[in-house]
Homo-oligomer: A and B are copies of this chain.
Amino acid sequence: MSSPKLFYEDFEPDRVFDFAPKTVSAEEIVDFASEFDPQPMHLSEDAGKASILGGLAASGWHSSCIMMRMMINAYLLDSASEGAPGIDIMEWKKPVLAGDTLTGRSIVTAARPMRSRPHIGIVTFRHELDNQRDERVLVSENSIMFRRRNVEGDTL
């Protein structure tokens, strides 16, 4: 691995990290649902149409995981991330339907050094996903730990 480009100090409040667009196929919706969330509306177009979702729709968990991969590509894999303790908010606001193209972003809402580990800082984000109809489909908030630039210390 090359050394990371983004450290704690780079995640300043209000900084925005835009995600590359991602189109979600029927095949990947069904593949994911078959493994983790085999409810009918995530497995076939007919059952999706008969449901409130209005068509073959990704599991909310799938949408969340797709967003994680968009975050990875946008900034996390280039960063000194030390992982996250969980998720504070996850709202599945609209269905993600087969063929939808998602865009989105992570916005830094707060950043503070970790008292117990001076070489780590905690960054809080708001994450958003939109579809090609300009509808917001997902909103989430969580905190991620990053190593500080030029501060000595073991990894977390």
Contacts and interface: CB of A to CB of B under 8 A. Distances in A.
A82 interface: yes
Nearest to A69: B36
B77 A38 contact: yes
A-side binding surface: helix, strand, loop or mixed? Answer: mixed
Given A39-B76, A40-B1, A77-B39, A86 B60 contact: yes
Interface string A63-76: 01110110010001
A76 B33 CA distance: 14
Interface stretch (A89-97, A100-108, A124-132): A89-97
A37 interface: yes
A60 B143 CA distance: 13
Interface residues of A, number: 38
A151 interface: no
Given A52-B83, A60-B84, A85-B92, A66 B36 contact: yes
Contacts of A155: 50-52
